[in-house]
Amino acid sequence: MKYLQKLLEKPSYVPKVNLPALARKHKKFMSCFQARPGNVFVSQDVVSLEPVITAEFSKDPLYKYAAYAGIGKKPEYRNGLLMIDDIYCMVGSFLPHTKDAMARHFERGLFNNWENLTDDERDPVKDSCKKDARNPAKTAALGLGYGMGAPKLAKTSAEAGFPITLEVARAVKDTYWATFAGLANLRDYLSWEIKKKGAVVNPFGYRLTPEPHKAFNAYIQSSASGVLDVYGRFMLHEKSPIKFVALIHDELIFEIPESFLDEFKFRGQESVKDLNDALGWECPIRLGTKVAKTFAEVK
């Protein structure tokens, strides 16, 4: 922890820029952002960053399986729970309003060969179950992580296109925290820290002062920022031809000379190794890389 904080005390060449408005759905707008002649955009997307951080800090065995222990293993049902290295598919397999749909998808062979697919190849599989299982589960999981109670969860789900009754929302909340007991323990501990001390400090030295019921989310989100900041410090230095362009959610976008691409990829591998050495986590951080001429193509 002290080493991470020491790293972040040094001057950073990573601009504090986040452009959340540049969403994937705004293709025409994002196509206006083009790399300069001779250059390309390179996107580095951290794979499942927040789930990995949540699993690391909570030590919850099921969440750990979804975040990293289950990588490369064939999905299977155990005691009514889909054991798979995708947290939202796992959550979808046991919540009361999504479990039947997820079971049908599994029985129809949707996840056949899942363990051998690349992240990009998995996208169509996720799309096949997202409307009735994965996306409603994701909405619920994120909402509960944000500290929502049942009324707010019911309202948020309806706004996202997945209406549920207040009774179902209560069942979703109870089932989620009972299943991931490690998360519930971490949530309760962080809330207690805020109530007792007025603040909590994450492993990167960020002092957080949220409302007690929002402490869990603040701790995870701020730690995600810390991971990206440390990685950026390993990647960039003053005389580097690598130019930081934007941070969009968990995705770093750089602009580089096209001739520098091989060296950039090598530096990325070395920087990820340095990052994981600095973190010392059970689960390594993994990055996906994409190269393109416009933001629309690189996202």
Confidence of residue 236 (pLDDT cuts 50, 70, 90): confident
Residues of the domain holding 168? 61-179
Query: Which of 115, 146, 179 is a domain's end point?
Result: 179
Question: Are 185 and 299 within one domain?
Answer: yes
Which of 127, 148, 179 is the last residue before a domain boundary?
A: 179
Q: What is the CATH number of the domain that holds 4?
A: 3.30.70.370
- 3-state secondary structure (DSSP) of residue 119: helix
Structure tokens at 124: 């169509």
Shared-domain flag, residues 46 and 115: no
What is the average per-residue pLDDT within 218-236? Answer: 92
- How does pLDDT run across 86-142, given as a tens digit for each residue? 999 999 999 999 999 999 999 999 999 999 998 889 999 999 999 999 999 999 999
| Per-residue pLDDT tens digits for 150-161 | 999 999 999 999
The model's confidence at residue 11, banded by pLDDT at 50, 70 and 90, is low
**93, 134: one domain:** yes
Q: In this predicted structure, what is the pLDDT of residue 156?
A: 95
Going by pLDDT thresholds of 50, 70 and 90, the confidence category of residue 22 is low
Residue 55 inside a domain? The answer is no
Query: Do residues 98 and 174 share a domain?
Result: yes
Is this prediction's pTM over 0.75? yes
User: Is residue 163 assigned to a domain?
Assistant: yes
Q: Which residue, 150, 179, 208, sits at the end of a domain?
A: 179
DSSP string, 191-243: HHHHHHHS-EE-TT--EE---GGGHHHHHHHHHHHHHHHHHHHHH--TT-S-E
Helix locations, the chain, DSSP H: 2-9, 27-31, 49-58, 61-64, 87-92, 99-107, 119-129, 135-145, 150-159, 166-179, 181-197, 215-235, 261-279, 295-298
Same domain, 199 and 229: yes
Sign of CA dihedral 41, 87, 135, 188: negative
Tokens 């009972």 belong to: 178
Tokens 């701790």 identify what position? 219
Count the domains in the chain.
Answer: 2
* 23 pLDDT tier (thresholds 50, 70, 90): low
> Which residue carries 């089932």 as its tokens?
175
| CA–centroid distance for 92 within its chain | 17
Interatomic CA distance for residues 271 and 268, integer angstroms: 5
Mean pLDDT (the chain, rounded): 90
Mean pLDDT of 68-80: 95
Angle at 220 between CA 298 and CA 198, to 5 degrees: 140
**Residues 298, 256: Cα–Cα separation, whole Å:** 13
Provide the β-strand partners of residue 247: 18, 252
